[in-house]
């Protein structure tokens, strides 16, 4: 299953949707913790991106992620994955999506650091 997210640049990113924990591939990319749409027709606005991050290795990052519990409490049931090997390209995609989606858990992390 896949879904497309639009970045601030207007570019669309088609991501793989994982609905359960699994053995993650040891490849890099951008990942998201997502609350699925309550309505299959997406008339209710579609899925909600709760947390966005990037990693050089999905297997290491997703094995025991410290933000999953918070995302789960907010209704996350899916992990969206966009594999990107090149670190500069991965960073650009991450920032493009972060600017357009502004996930609530990313905003909370920024407030804790400040």
pLDDT in tens, 68-82: 999 999 999 999 999
What is the reported pLDDT for 107? Answer: 84
List, in order, residues 6 or more apart from 21 with CB less than 8 Å away: 62
Match 């907010």 to its residue by tokens: 74
| CATH for 101 | 3.40.1440.10
Q: Is the pLDDT of residue 111 over 70?
A: no
DSSP code for 49: E
Q: Is the pLDDT of residue 110 over 80?
A: no
List, in order, residues 6 or more apart from 67 with CB less than 8 Å away: 33, 51, 53, 105, 109
Domain region containing 72:
2-113
Per-residue tokens: 53: 């991050």
pTM, to two decimals = 0.87
**Total domain count for the chain?**
1
Task: Give residue-wise pLDDT tens across range 6-46.
Answer: 999 999 999 999 977 777 888 999 999 999 987 655 555 78
What is the reported pLDDT for 23? Answer: 79
């Amino acid at each position: 299953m896949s879904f497309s997210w639009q970045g601030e640049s207007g570019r669309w990113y088609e991501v793989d949707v994982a609905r359960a924990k699994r053995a993650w591939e040891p490849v890099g990319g951008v990942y998201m913790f997502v609350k699925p749409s309550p309505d299959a027709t997406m008339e209710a606005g579609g899925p909600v991106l709760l947390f966005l991050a990037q990693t050089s290795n999905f297997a290491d990052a997703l094995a025991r992620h410290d933000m999953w519990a918070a995302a789960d409490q907010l209704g996350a049931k899916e992990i969206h994955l966009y594999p990107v090997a090149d670190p500069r390209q991965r960073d650009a995609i991450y920032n493009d999506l972060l600017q357009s989606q502004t996930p609530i858990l990313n905003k909370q992390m920024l407030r804790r650091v400040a």
